[in-house]
Structure 1
Amino acid sequence: MMDSPDLQHIAHLRREYTKGGLRRRDLTDTPLALFERWLKQACEARLSDPTAMVVATVDELGQPYQRIVLLKHFDARGMVFYTNLGSRKARHIEGNPCVSLLFPWHMLERQVMVQGRAERLSTLDVVKYFHTRPRDSQIGAWVSKQSSRISARGVLESKFLEIKNKFMQGEVPLPSFWGGYRISIEQMEFWQGGENRLHDRFLYQRDQDGWKIDRLAP
């Protein structure tokens, strides 16, 4: 099989980052204020899935895993996402609550990295969010035993129709195996691409009741 000519020279694929830098005068006192500004700009730029974030967890053997989920809420207490509580990520969190998040806003030449600890949301918080989801998404939560092996897609589609018929009347109840997590923010790094690979990086770390801010070498 011949090598694709488009992939022969990937080591030389590069571009300059020219959308502007990040200076200390641009920073806010708290990382969430800057995150909110950047997220708003990502939305205004009409990026695909601006709330998409990579969630990294570690299993009992120390093997890291990553996947993309959607940020659904954030405030001073942390960043929130929802998932099947039997999923691989949920099992990892139960064994090791230390979690890393990454927002890859490539089109803006930006990344935001978060480190913190995950804690389960209350059932009340989960119920409130669950019933704001589209009805078919609610039904979908019942269908998938997330991360388990299945023989074919048809298994999911058949189960979806079965559950849809079951809950044809009235509201779809919250599955007992579906919930959410809040990631407390211990540190947050803002990365802005710069020319000549002189990227701008600022790290916020909790410091007693405030935040310590350091510039990092690219």
Structure 2
Amino acid sequence: MTAPVCAVILAAGGSRRLGRPKQLLPYAGTTLLGATLENVRRLGFDQIILTLGTAADEVIAHHDLADLTVVRNQVPEAGCSSSIRQAIRYVPADADGVVLLLGDQPGVAGSTVRSLLSAARAAPLAAIRYRDGLGHPFWLGREVFPMLDQLHGDKGVWKLIDAAGAQLVTVDVDDETPLDVDTEDDYRRLLARSPEADAARSR
């Protein structure tokens, strides 16, 4: 039997720099998080785990999450590492690992995720190498789960990636790192590259 393929989407951030829940920002006919969820659902994962935090009630009220495993991070101020630690507890025991994605990065292409899975499922760690450097999505193999449980802060998983050395598998993608949203300027740049903006420019 083929092991289940799982995704973890991090969406528990408090949007401190933005000043409003970025998960609910209008984007591509839905919300920023909604667009990410639509993209991830198309990939056919056996399980999608979504971590929510500060704005959990609002996010749940605005989205249909019935097909997802929703994990509420009670301490989102502790950073992404706390969300990852909680999420991996819901990964099936027979899964090889998880694809880690950001809920505020809807521009990640399906082909990028498929390339990551094709190259990395036998590896402990993998990342995408864009033209401007390493970026999400990451592959976190089951053998590193005990290490994930020891991470702290927003950059904990990056420290694991940086320290992996020769164990890190990289998948080259001939594109810039897709935008993620932390500030109003980030949001404006994302909107300028949205499907609606592209359609308007082509008219």
TM-score under structure 1 length normalisation: 0.26
Q: Which has more helix, going by share of residues?
A: 2
Q: Which has the larger radius of gyration?
A: 1
